Amino acid sequence: MTQIVLNFDPGAFSALRLSPKAFSEELKIAAVVQWYAEQRISQSKACEILGIARSRFLDELYRRNLPAIQVTLDELQQEIHGDF
């Protein structure tokens, strides 16, 4: 497994009221959720990166008030009307 080292001022941990370990986990989750929200990765890839079940990832999206389904209106209309 590859390890990435980031340096933070100790004040960063207190800003979120997290221990350094909890802060690093939050940072990882936040990055992956953001990549998903930007449609750069799929739910499956997000779960793989985080090492969690899809249900846990969906809970995380809900907690952050983000949609779990990423489909455009055009894509939805094509699916409804059968225009594949």
| Angstrom distance (rounded) from CA 17 to CA 32 | 21
Q: What is the pTM assigned to this prediction?
A: 0.80
Residue whose token pair is 């990423």: 70
Q: Is the pLDDT of residue 41 over 80?
A: yes
pLDDT average, residue stretch 12-30: 91
State the Cα–Cα distance between residues 43 and 60, nearest whole angstrom: 11
User: Is a pLDDT exceeding 70 seen at residue 84?
Assistant: no
Distances (CA, A) of 80 to 4, 18, 74, 84: 44, 45, 10, 10
Q: Count the neighbouring beta carbons within 10 Å of the beta carbon of residue 57.
A: 21
